[in-house]
Amino acid sequence: MKIRPLYDRVVIRRKEEEETTAGGIVLPGSAKEKPNQGEVIAVGDGKVLDNGEQRPLAVKVGDQVVFGQYAGSNKIEIDGEELILMSESEIYAVVD
């Protein structure tokens, strides 16, 4: 199934949770933090400005992005995979 977000919305696949710490300690499920990085899966057409023009988004499909810990409270499930739907303004940076 394909998804096409509207306006300035972006669909992101969150990176996998870390299973161990840098020191090699295995984390139980309750101690794992959800990563604040992911890959852009789909983007909308752009934000509609006050003058009626449409500004294209700064991110594109395939970009690795960083977002806030509590960003993207809209979780959706497509083909058994949990994805995050968020506004472009909730994305802090693109990782090169």
Q: pLDDT tens digits, residue range 52-80?
A: 888 888 899 999 999 888 777 788 888 88
CA dihedral 27, 32, 38, 43 (to 10 degrees): 150
Which tokens belong to 41? 């899966």
pLDDT reported for residue 92: 92
Boundaries of every domain in the chain: 9-15+35-95
**How many other CB atoms are found less than 10 A from the CB of residue 41?**
19
For residue 89, what is the DSSP state?
Answer: G
DSSP structure string for 28-83: PGGGPPPPSEEEEEEE-S-EEPTTS-EEPPS--TT-EEEE-TT---EEEEETTEEE
- Model pLDDT for residues 8-56, shown as the tens digit of each residue: 899 999 887 656 656 666 666 554 567 788 999 999 988 888 998 888 8
Q: Tell me what pLDDT residue 26 has.
A: 67
CATH architecture of 9-15+35-95: Roll (2.30)
Tokens 């899966």 -> residue? 41
pTM: 0.76
